[in-house]
Structure 1
Amino acid sequence: MSEQQGTSPPYGPRRSADGPVRALLRRLRYLRVHGVPGLRGHRSVVGNAVRVTVASCLAFYLCRYVLDLTAMSVYATFTVVSLGALARIPGSGRQRAATTVMAIPAGLVLITLGTLLAVQTWAAVLGMLVIGFMVAYAGTTGPRIAGAAPGMQLLYILPCFPPYAPQDLVQRLTGFLLGALLLALAQRFLMPEPRTPSFGRLLADAAEAAADLADHHGGPTPVQALARAHRAGEALRPTAVPPADMPASPTLTHKAMAHAAEAVRTLLARLDTLHTMATGPHHTYHPETVALLQGISAAARETADALRRGRRLRPGEGPSAAPLQQELTPVRAHRAVATLDRLGADDRLVYLRRRSQVVQAADSAVVLLLATRLLLGDRTVDRNPVGHSFAYARVHAPRLWWQRLTLHLTPRSVIFQNACRFALGLAAARAIAGVLDLQHGFWVLLATLTLTRTTTLETWSAVRQALLGTLVGAVVAAGLLVVVQDRDTVYAVILPVVMLTAFIAGPLRGLAWAQGGFTLVVATLFAQVTPSTWQLAPVRLVDVLVGSVIGLACGLVAWPRGAGSEVRKSMAGLCSAIADAIGQTTAQVVERAGSTDIFALNRALILARESLAQYQCEARENAAGQPDWPTVLVAGADARRGGRLLPGRPGRIAPHEVGAWLRRAADSTAADYRALADRLRTDRGIPHERPQPLDIRALLALAPPVPHHGPDRERRAVSAALLLDSVIWLDALTDDLSRIHQEM
C-alpha cells in the first residue's frame, strides 16, 4: 500500500492527480451516489421546492416574456412564492391545492385593499395594523388557515408600497390568479404529497380495535388486541394526527369528530384497564360484565361500519345506542348496590374503580355512537338521555364560528399575543419604510414577517442567522449583477437553478441558507423586471437589517417571554375553571339546580393547550423545574367529561345527608384546585402536603343500605348509581390532583 493510499480519507470523494476533468467526474459520481439518496430522504422539501420553482418560473416567463406585462409577472411569481414557500400549508397534494384555491377570494381582497390604501403612508400603516392582526388571528379557525396566514400577509404587503398605481390593479389581480392556479395545479399533480388516512378512518380503526378488545370475555390477557388498541388510540392523539386532518375548525362536523375521538380514546383506555386489572390465565368475568362487553362490541362495530360508509344518516337508520343503554341501566344500578356493600373495607376505592371500568366503557361507547350519528348528520342526538353532552348539536353555524373567533380574544391567549406582536411589527415596519422612503421597503416588512418569533431569545437567534445569510447572499448577488449586467437571457436561464437550490437549501440547512438563497432569487428576478446594478444587493441587506431591528423591538415590547409566563397563568386559569365545574356539576347532581358552564371550561382547556403547545416549541436557556403540565390538561378533560355526563343521569341523591357529604367532598376538591391555581399564579411552588382522598367511611355512616326487596328498591338503586358515578368522578379528579402534586 502506498503512502497516498494509506492516508486517504475513508469518506468523501478522493483527491486525484489525473487532471481536473477526471476529478470533476469523480465528484459528480460521488454526489450522485451519496447526494441523491440524501435528497430522497427529504422528499417533502424537494417536492415543494420543485413545485414552487416550476409554477413560479412558468408564471414569470409567461407574463414577462410572452405577454410583456411587468406588474403581472411580479405578482404571479410572488403569489407562488408566498403561498408555496413562505406559507406552510399542510396536507396531501389534493388538500394543499384545495386550500390554495379557497384562499383566492381572500387574496383578491387583500391585494385590492393593499393597492388602494397605498395612497398615503398613514392609510397603509393603519391597514397593515388591522389586516395584519386579522390574518394572523384567523389561524384560530384551523391548521390550514393558520398555515396559509404568512403567505396571505405577503399578499397585502406587496401592493401597499408606492408607487400608488390603481391603474395596475387588474394586472396585479390577474397575476395573482394565474400564480395561485399554477401553484394549485403543481401541488395536485407535480410530485404531490401522499395522502394520509382521513380522521374518519382513524376513528373507524379505533372503534374496530375497541370492538375486538370487548370481544374478550375472560381468559388470558389479550396481548395482540391490547397492542392494536394502544396503536389506534395513539393514532388519534393531536400530536399524531396530520394537521390538515385534525378536526380543529368550528364546524359542527369537526366538533362531532373531536367529541367522537375523545369518547373512543376513553373507551379504549377503560377496556385496557379492565383487561389488565384481571389476574390469572383463567380469569372469568361476571355474566353482566360479559353482557355489557358484548353490547359495547356490537355498538363499536356498528359505529366503525357507519364511519367507513360515510353516508349521511336518515331518521331511523344507522347504528342505535338504545340496545346498549337498555343493557347498561340495570347493570349500573345493580353494581352500585353491590359496591356499596363492599365499600366498608375499601377505603382506597380499589374495588370501586375496578367495578366501574366496564360501566364507564359502556358510557363512552354510547357517546361515541351518538357523536358518530351527529357527525353523519343526525342532529336529534340531543334528545337521547345522554344528550346533555351534545348541547351544541342544534347550534347554528354562524354562532359556532362566532364562539371560535371570540374564544381567543383575550390577552391570556398566545394566539392573540402572537397576532398583536406581528400586527404591531408590520405596522411599525410599514411606517418606518414610508417615512424614510426606503427603496424596496417591501423587503423591510418581509424581514419583519419572517424573522419575528414568539420570544426575544428566538428572534435574536433568527436575526443573527438571517443577517449572516443575507450578507453572504448580497455579496454573491452583487458579483452576479456586476458580471452579467443587463443580459436578461442569462438571468432567465439561471433563475430556475437559483430558485430550486434556495428552496431546498433553506429548509434543510437553516435560516442563514434560506435568507442567502432568497437574496439571490430576488436579485435574479428583479434584474429581469427593472434595470439593476450591484447596489441592489446592499439595499436588500439594509432592508433586512431594518426589519430585523423592528422585529427585535416588537419582541421586547410585546410579551418578550413568549409562552414562558403565559403557560403558568393559563394552567392556573384551567385549575380555576375545574374548581368551578366541580361545584356547578355537583349542584346539578345533588340539587338539580343551575348548570355547568362547559363553554368556560372548554375555553380554559383550549387556552391552556395552546400555550403549552407553543411553550414546548420555544427554545429556552433553562427549561428545568417546570411542572408536569399535561397532567393538568388530563384533569381538565376529566372535569369536562363529568360536566357533560352526570347532570343527565337519572335519579336523585337521597337522603339529604348523603347529598351534603357529596357537596362537602366536592367543595374540598374544588378548594384544592383553587389553591393550586393561586400558587401557579404567584409562582410560589407546590405545598408538600398532598390532597386527602375521599372520606368513604363518613359516606357509609350516612348512606343507608339499599334493600334487596321492596317497592322503593329501584328508586334507591338508581340513586345509589348516581351517587357512585359522582364519587368515581370526584375520585378521578382527586387522583389527578395527587399526581400533579407528586410530579411537580
Structure 2
Amino acid sequence: MSPQQGASPGSGPRRAAGGAGLRGLLERGRDGVRAHHAVVGNAVRVTAASCAAFYFCRYGLGLLVMSVYATFTVVSLGALARIPGSGRQRATTVLTALPAGLVLITLGTLLAVRTWAAVVGMLVIGFMVAYAGTTGPRIAGAAPGMQLLYILPCFPPYAPETLGQRLSGFLLGAVLLALAQRFLMPEPDTPSYRRLLADAADAAARLADHHGGPPPETALATAHRAGAALRPSCVPPADRPASPTLPHKAMAHASEAVRTLLARLDALHTGAGPHQRYQPETVVLLEGISAAARGAADALRRGKRLRPGEGPSATALQEELAPVRAHRAVDTLQRLSTDDRLVYLRRRSQVVQAADCAVVLVLATRLMFGDRSVEQNPAGHTFAYARARPLQLWWQRLTMHLTPRSVIFQNACRFALGLAAARAIAGLLDLQHGFWVLLATLTLTRTTSLETRSAVRQALTGTLIGAVLAGGMLALVHDRDTVYAVVLPVVMLVAFTAGPLRGLAWAQGGFTLVVATLFAQVSPVTWQLAPVRMVDVLIGSVIGLTCGLLAWPRGAGSEVRRSMAGLCSAIADAIGYTTARVVERSGSTDVLALNRALGLAQESLAQYQCEPRDDGPQPDWPALLVAGTDARRGERLLPGRPGRIASQEVGAWLRHSAGRTADDYRSLGRHLGTDRGTPGDHPQPLDIRALLAVTPAVPRHSPDTETRALSAALLLDSVIWLDALTTDLTRLHEEL
C-alpha cells in the first residue's frame, strides 16, 4: 500500500515545454470564453425572467406586492445565489426549493409583527439556512438566495393580508426562473458522475487485460485520464456525490475504490520489467478483476435499480482471491528476511490489493442501485452504513459540523449574527429601507476580516457611483413609468453582466441602478432614494466589518491546522481500534469519529485554499488527507478479514508497531495544534527483523496449514496497512 493510495495513476510521458505552454494558453483562453459565456447567459436568463415577472404583475395584473416578490425571487435565486450545475440541474434545484421558500416567506411575514420577533427569527433562520449547506453543493449554492426570501418580508409594514400576493409572486418568479434556466441559453449538461465511474471501471478492466510484457502505454494513459476525472477538483460541484443519501455515499465509496484500483494496476504494470510475464495466479486474479470491473461499468451505464440476482457479481473474484492471498502471504513471509524495506512485499501485494478494490467497487455499485444485501457478503463489513435509515444518514451529516471547530458552523454563526444585528439596528432606527441594510450585510460579509474590508471598500465605491447615477436618473425622468419600464431590462442586463466580470464595485453600482429603476415603478420616489441606499449600504457594511473582526477573523487560517491536528488524533485512535480488533477479534470502533475528522479537515482546507492570504509555505495537507483515507480503509477492511493471529508474540509485535505509529501521529497532531517546535523524531520504518524473530514458520504439509496461511495473510495485510501509514507520516515530516 503506497503513500499515494487512492490517487490516480502516473501522469504518463512528459511533453515539450513549449507545447505545454501553448496548450495551457489555449486552455486558459477557452476557459475565459466559457466563463464570459456563462456570465452573459445567466444575466440574460435573470433579466428575461425577472422582467417578465415584473411586467406581468405590475402592468398586467396591477399587483404591486406580487410584482416586487416575483422580481426579487428571480434576482435572489438567479443572481445572488450561486446554484451550480447545468440548466437542467439548476432548474431542478430552483423547483426543489419551492416548499422551503414558501415557509421562509410565511415566517418572515408573520414575524415582522415585532422587531424582537423578526430579530430572533433572523438569528435562527439565518443560521439554519447557512448551515444547511453541509448537505451538498446545490443547497449551499442556493443558501444566499434563500436567506433573501426571509429577509424581504420581515420588515414593516406588518401586512399579513398581503401574504397571498407574496407567495404567488414567489411561485411565479421561481417557475419563470426555472424555465429560463432550462430553455434560455442553458448551461450545457456535463457527464454524470455515474458515467465517470463507468469510464474509470472500463479503464481498469483494460489495464487488467494486460498480463505481462511491456507496459500498456495507451491503457495507462486512458486510466490516468479516467482517474483524474474523478478528482473532486475536476468534477463540477453539482455532479459530486456530496449528499448524505445512501446512493451518494455508495457512489463516493465506489469512486474511492476505483481510483485505488487504477493506482494499484498502474503500479503493478509499471513496476514489472519490460519482458516479465505474470504468474498464473496473478493472471487469474487479473481476469477476475477485469470481469468484475466490466460488470460494474455495465451496471453504472444502465443506471437501473437491481433486482435479486441481477447486476455485477464479486463472488467469482472472491473465490479466486482467497487462496492467492494465503499462498502469497506464506511465500512472502519466507522472503522477509531479505526484504526489510518491504519492496518485495509491496510488489507482491499489488494485484491482491487491486482485487480487493474490485470487490469493493462491485459491492458499492450494487448498493448504489438498491441492493442492501451487500453487507451479507464476506466483504460487506466495509458497508456498515448500508443498514442506516435515511433519517439517520441525514442526522449524521447535519451533526458532523455542529461544533465551533467547523468552518461551516463558524460561517453560519457569522452570517446569522450579522443579519440579526442588522435587523435589530434597522428596526430600532426605523430605517425607511432597512431591507437594504440586511442585503448589504449578507453580500459583503466574508470569511476573513481582510476579505471583508476589501469587499466593503469596493462596495462603497460602487454604491456611491451607482447612487449618483441613480439620483440623476430619478431627477431627470421623475414619474414617467414608461421610461423606467424601457430602461429596466438594459440596466439589469448590464448590471448582472458587469458585476461578475468586473468585480464587486460594478456589482453594487449596477444593483443600485436596478433597485432605483425598479422601485420607481412601484411607488412614487425622488432622487433622495439614491442617498438613502448609500446610507443603508454603509450601515450594512459596518455591521459586516464588525462581524468579520469579532467572529473568527482569520477564517480557515487557524482552523486548518486545528482540524488537521484533530485528524492526526483520529488516525491514531483508528490505528489503535483496528489493531485491537485484528489481534484480539474483539473491541469497539468509532468509524464516525474518523469520518467526522476527515470531513472537518476537508472543509477547512477547501475554504483555506479559497481565501487570499500570504502565510508562507504550508505542509502538504492533501497528504494528511490521504493518510486519513488509508486509516479509514484499514478500519473498514481488516477486522472482517478471515484468519486469526494466534501467536501472542506476533500479536505483541503488531500492537507495538501500531502503537508506535499511532504515537507518531499524535506527536504530529500536537505539533500542528501548538505550532511549536518540531513534530518529534523522524518516524522509523517497521521493524521487520523483529517480526521475523517471532513469526512461526508455516509448514507446507500440515493439518493446520490453511489456518496458518490465513493468519499469515491477515498479518501481512496489517503490515501493508501500517507501512502505508508510516510512509504517509514520513512524507509529512519531510514537508515540515
TM-score (norm 1): 0.94
Shift of 1:40: 6.9
CA distances 1:157-200 after superposition (whole Å, capped 9, x unpaired): 00000111111110100000100000011011111110001111
Aligned pair 1:650/2:642, yes or no? yes
Aligned: 1:234 with 2:233? no
Cα pair 1:470 1:516 within 8 Å, conserved:
yes
Indicate conservation of the 8 Å contact 2:115/2:424, yes or no.
Answer: yes
For residues 438 and 568 of structure 1, what CA distance do their matches in structure 2 show? Answer: 43
Question: Is 1:624 aligned to 2:616, yes or no?
Answer: yes
Report the CA distance shift for 1:377/1:277 in structure 2 as closer, same or farther (over 3 A). same
* C-alpha distance after superposition, 1:282-335 (max 9, x if no partner): 121111111111110010001101111111111122111110000000000000
Query: What SS does the corresponding residue of 1:529 show, helix, strand or coil?
Result: coil
CA shift for structure 1 position 713: 0.6
Matches within 5 A, 1:569-718: 569-620=562-613, 622-687=614-679, 689-718=681-710
Q: Aligned partner of 1:714: which letter?
A: E
CA distance in 2 between counterparts of 1:233 and 1:191 reads 31
Instruction: Give 1:291-690 correspondences, 5 Å limit.
Output: 291-620=284-613, 622-687=614-679, 689-690=681-682
CA contact (8 A) 1:219 1:284 kept: yes
Asked whether the 8 Å contact 2:211–2:283 carries over to 1, the reply is yes
Q: CA deviation at 1:688?
A: 6.6
Tell me the SS of whatever aligns to 2:84: coil
**Is 1:143 aligned to 2:137, yes or no?**
yes
Match of 1:56 among 50, 53, 63: 50
Deviation at 1:272, TM superposition (A): 0.8
Q: Identify the match of residue 286 of structure 1 among 279, 287, 304.
A: 279
Q: Is this contact kept in 2: 1:141–1:249, CA < 8 A?
A: yes
Aligned position for 1:199 = 193
CA distance in 1, matches of 2:32, 2:499: 15
CA distance in 2, matches of 1:425, 1:704: 67
Given the superposition, is the C-alpha separation of residues 39 and 284 from structure 1 closer, same or farther in structure 2, using an over 3 Å criterion? closer
Residue identity in the other structure for 2:261:
L
How far apart, in 1, do the equivalents of 2:467 and 2:482 lie?
21
C-alpha change, 1:680 and 1:157, in structure 2 (3 Å) is same
Task: Give the structure 1 partner of residue 113 of structure 2.
Answer: 119
Give yes or no for contact 2:109–2:153 (8 Å, CA) kept in 1: yes
d(CA) in 2 for partners of 1:135, 1:496: 31
Distance 1:458 1:627 in 2: 23
Check conservation: 1:333, 1:717, Cα contact below 8 A. Answer: yes
2:263 aligned counterpart, secondary structure: helix
Q: For the residues of structure 1 that align with 2:35 and 2:447, how far apart are their CA atoms?
A: 30
Q: Which amino acid aligns with 1:511?
A: L
Alpha-carbon displacement from aligned partner over 1:188-236 (angstroms, at most 9, x marks no partner): 1111110001111111000000000111111111111111111111111
Taking the aligned partners of 1:742 and 1:531, their CA distance within structure 2 comes to 69
1:266-277 alignment to 2 at 5 Å? 266-277=260-271
Q: Among 146, 169, 180, which residue is 1:175 paired with?
A: 169
SS of the residue 2:335 aligns to: helix
What are the superposed Cα offsets for residues 78-99 of structure 1, whole Å, 9 maximum, x if unpaired? 0000000000111111111110
Residue in structure 2 matching 1:166, options 121, 140, 160:
160
**In 2, Cα distance between equivalents of 1:361 and 1:130:** 49
Q: Any idea what SS the aligned residue of 2:233 has?
A: coil
Aligned counterparts of 1:310 and 1:81: Cα–Cα separation in 2? 36
Cα distance in structure 1, aligned partners of 2:265 and 2:528: 70
Within the candidate set 100, 108, 131, 1:106 is matched to 100
CA contact (8 A) 1:686 1:741 kept: no
Q: Pick the aligned partner of 1:75 from 62, 69, 80.
A: 69
Conserved in 1, the CA contact under 8 Å of 2:667 and 2:679? no
CA gap of 1:368–1:38, structure 2 versus 1, over 3 A, is: closer
Given the superposition, is the C-alpha separation of residues 623 and 679 from structure 1 closer, same or farther in structure 2, using an over 3 Å criterion?
A: same
Contact 2:111/2:154 (8 A) holds in 1: yes
Equivalents in 2 of 1:501, 1:167: separation in Å? 36
Mapping 1:12-51, distance limit 5 Å? 42-51=36-45
**Whole-angstrom distance in 1 between the partners of 2:209 and 2:156:** 71
Aligned partners of 2:667 and 2:680 also within 8 Å: no
The amino acid that maps onto 1:375 is M
Shift of 1:686: 3.0
Are 1:96 and 2:90 counterparts? yes
| Equivalent residues of 2:213, 2:273 under 8 A apart | no
1:130 aligned onto 2:114? no
CA–CA separation in structure 2 for the residues paired with 1:625 and 1:257: 34
Query: 2:149 & 2:310 partners in 1: Cα distance?
Result: 48
Whole-angstrom CA distance in 2 between matches of 1:655 and 1:393: 34
Q: Which one-letter code corresponds to 2:216 in the other structure?
A: P
Alpha-carbon distance between aligned partners in 2 of 1:317 and 1:86, rounded to the nearest angstrom: 46
Preserved CA contact (<8 Å) 2:668 2:680: no
Q: CA deviation at 1:623?
A: 2.3
> What secondary structure sits across from 1:646 in the alignment?
helix
| Cα deviation, residue 43, structure 1 | 1.1
2:70 and 2:171 in contact (8 A); partners too = yes
The residue aligned with 1:14 is none
Flag the structure with larger Rg. 1
Which residue of the partner structure matches residue 28 of structure 2?
A: none
Looking at structure 2, the residues matched to 675 and 257 of structure 1 have their Cα atoms a distance apart, in angstroms, of 34
SS in 2 for 1:693: coil
Q: Which has the higher contact order (CA 8 A, sep 6+)?
A: 2
Structure 2: runs of 5 or more not aligned: 1-30
Say what the alpha-carbon RMSD is for the aligned residues. Answer: 1.0
The Cα shift of 1:138 comes to: 0.5
Give ranges in structure 1 of 5+ residues lacking alignment: 1-36
Hey, what does 1:33 align to over in structure 2? none
How far the C-alpha of 1:626 sits from its partner, in A, is 1.7
Q: 2 CA distance for matches of 1:348 and 1:41?
A: 50
Matches for 1:260-271 after TM superposition, within 5 Å: 260-271=254-265
Distance 1:419 1:346 in 2: 53
Q: Whole-Å Cα distance in 2 between the matches of residues 172 and 696 of structure 1?
A: 73
Change (3 A) 1:38 1:603: closer
Match 2:244 to one of 250, 255, 273: 250
> TM-score scaled by structure 2?
0.95
Q: Distance in 1 between matches of 2:323 and 2:714?
A: 12
In the aligned structure 2, how far is the partner of 1:363 from the partner of 1:160?
A: 56
